[in-house]
Amino acid sequence: MSGALTDAAAGRMRVMVVAGARPNFMKVAPVLFALEKAGHQAILVHTGQHYDARMSDAFFADLGIPEPDHHLGVGGGSHAVQTARVMEAFEPVLAAERPDWLVVVGDVNSTIACALVASKLREGLGCRIAHVEAGLRSHDWRMPEEVNRVLTDRLSDLLLTPSRDAHPNLLAEGIPAERAVFVGNVMIDTLVAQLSAARDLDLPGRMGLARGGYALATLHRPSNVDDAENLGAVLGALQAVARQLPVVLPLHPRTRKNVDAFGLADRIQGMHVLEPLGYREMQSLSDGAAVVLTDSGGLQEETTYLGVPCVTLREQTERPITLTEGTNRMAPWPLTAEGVFQAAQEARAMGRMDAGARVPEGWDGRAAERIVAALARA
Ligand code: UD1
């Protein structure tokens, strides 16, 4: 009997999991662990969309993710170049491995690139596509991630959602209800598993910052950082906060390049400016902050779990459950120094809650188990 037949007889699935960019790594880790625990075969593909040690390797080390079985090494480039390179490199890997499932996570260019390749090979290979973090919508088509989300969901056979509010979004796009399965938030699996190690790290203490005595800020969205005027305004707002409270600002490579290119280095003086952080370092700082100011999607969810007030520096969010059931609030739009400062003051005044005290349904550390069960059932 061939290996594939033996596996099928034993109910053992071959599942290819794709990771490309920083926000993917904390989502694939628990899925890989849960697949292994249930006796299935996981095949990990790293597209190489993010390649710096601090954007990629640090997360593999912190999260205990095994070496990828395939590294596509695509690197940076325009959206078209990056997406095309992933597609070209991924097609022969998928064709050779012939998994039962392709699992893609989140909304980055690697997500749509691999889903698109698999959708064209689906019939010949008998490989189905599952999207983890399906159904989130910002309804803002200017965001590359929104395009990636909508198209990936349309191409997928199984839509694994992090919160119940994702389901009406999918139904509104004509996706049959039975294709979507609520599994909860897999990123919180990683946070639950890593929180005590992150606390032990005590990065705030090592930086001389008191717990609850500083603000943590992150910025990397093209809408905030690719335009000199917008980036100047957002950094001006953080300067206003920094006059009241120490501001810690880990800088994404995109933001670092633009701060230099637009001559805005004076706007970040006086802040604790850091290189991109590893996973535990980031959670250690989030967990200790009085308030987090961010344009990241992941941090909106993580602060909700941690019970730390969050101010989102965007026009809208694809994670509205963090507003209604969590600690998140939107900064008034368009962003101004006064508006952001005021929102940060109000958020701080709300105070912090204990981690896990009040969280949306399914943000409980067991989403990956439910994902594996949904794959096996489908
Ligand atoms: C990507 C994702 C975004 C996610 C973000 C998290 C898409 C469309 N965007 O945006 O959803 O929130 O990752 O970080 O997929 N760079 C480095 N080293 C690296 C990676 C990137 O220097 O390891 C540079 C690139 O050369 C580029 C810039 O940073 O100049 C942006 O990288 P890119 O992967 O294009 O997109 P992100 O802005 O990181």
Active site residue 220: yes
Core vs surface per residue 319-348: b (16+ CB within 10 A) or e: bbbbbebbbbbbbeeebbbebbbbbbeebb
Q: H/E element holding 93?
A: helix 79-97
Of ligand 1's atoms, which has the minimum distance to the CA of residue 144? Answer: 8
What pLDDT is recorded for position 11? 87
Distance 346 CA to ligand 1 centre (A): 31
CB-based contacts of 128: which residues, under 8 Å, 6+ apart? 100, 101, 102, 122, 157, 158, 378
Q: Which of 268, 269, 237, 266 is nearest to 345 (CA)?
A: 237
Distance in angstroms (rounded) separating the CA atoms of residues 190 and 187: 5
Distance 242 CA to ligand 1 centre (A): 26
Summarised one tens digit per residue, pLDDT across range 275-303 is 999 999 999 999 999 999 999 999 999 99
Q: H/E element holding 31?
A: helix 22-37
Banded pLDDT at 1 (limits 50, 70, 90)? very low
**Which residue minimizes the CA distance to atom 27 of ligand 1?**
254
Find where tokens 């969901």 sit.
Answer: 153
Distance 49 CA to ligand 1 centre (A): 7
Q: Which of 46, 50, 167, 220 is catalytic?
A: 220
- For CA atoms 306, 307, 310, 316, the dihedral sign is positive
pLDDT surpasses 50 at 2: no
Which amino acid appears at position 257 of this protein? Answer: K
**Which residue minimizes the CA distance to atom 25 of ligand 1?**
76
Distance 254 CA to ligand 1 centre (A): 7
Which amino acid appears at position 244 of this protein? Answer: Q
What pLDDT is recorded for position 10? 75
Between 26-30, 74-78, 160-164, 333-337, the lowest mean confidence (pLDDT) is in 333-337
What pLDDT is recorded for position 175? 98
**Which DSSP string corresponds to 118-146?**
HHHHHHHHT-EEEEETTT-----TTSHHH
Asked if residues 64 and 50 have their Cβ atoms less than 8 Å apart, the reply is no
**Which residue minimizes the CA distance to atom 15 of ligand 1?**
108
Of ligand 1's atoms, which has the minimum distance to the CA of residue 107? Answer: 11
DSSP state of 365: S
Distance in angstroms (rounded) separating the CA atoms of residues 191 and 26: 8
Q: Residues near ligand 1 with C-beta < 6 Å?
A: 21-23, 49-52, 55, 76, 107-109, 144-145, 220, 252-254
Distance in angstroms (rounded) separating the CA atoms of residues 135 and 17: 19
**Which residue minimizes the CA distance to atom 7 of ligand 1?**
108
Average pLDDT in the 353-373 region? 96
Q: Which of 64, 34, 101, 28 is nearest to 366 (CA)?
A: 34
**Which residue minimizes the CA distance to atom 20 of ligand 1?**
50
Give the gyration radius of the chain's Cα atoms.
20
**Which residue minimizes the CA distance to atom 22 of ligand 1?**
253
pLDDT surpasses 70 at 332: yes
Summarised one tens digit per residue, pLDDT across range 159-188 is 999 999 999 999 999 999 999 999 999 999
Distance 77 CA to ligand 1 centre (A): 9
> ∠ CA 249-253-259 to the nearest 5 degrees?
65
Asked if residues 285 and 216 have their Cβ atoms less than 8 Å apart, the reply is yes
Pocket test of ligand 1: the residue of 22, 25, 50 to mutate, having most ligand atoms within 8 Å of its CB, is 50
Of ligand 1's atoms, which has the minimum distance to the CA of residue 222? Answer: 38
Pocket test of ligand 1: the residue of 78, 105, 108, 318 to mutate, having most ligand atoms within 8 Å of its CB, is 108
User: Burial, 59: exposed, middle or buried (Cβ in 10 Å; 0-12, 13-18, 19+)?
Assistant: buried
State the chain's mean pLDDT as an integer: 96
* H helix runs in 262-336, sequence order: 279-288, 297-306, 321-324
Distance 2 CA to ligand 1 centre (A): 42
Average pLDDT in the 126-152 region? 98
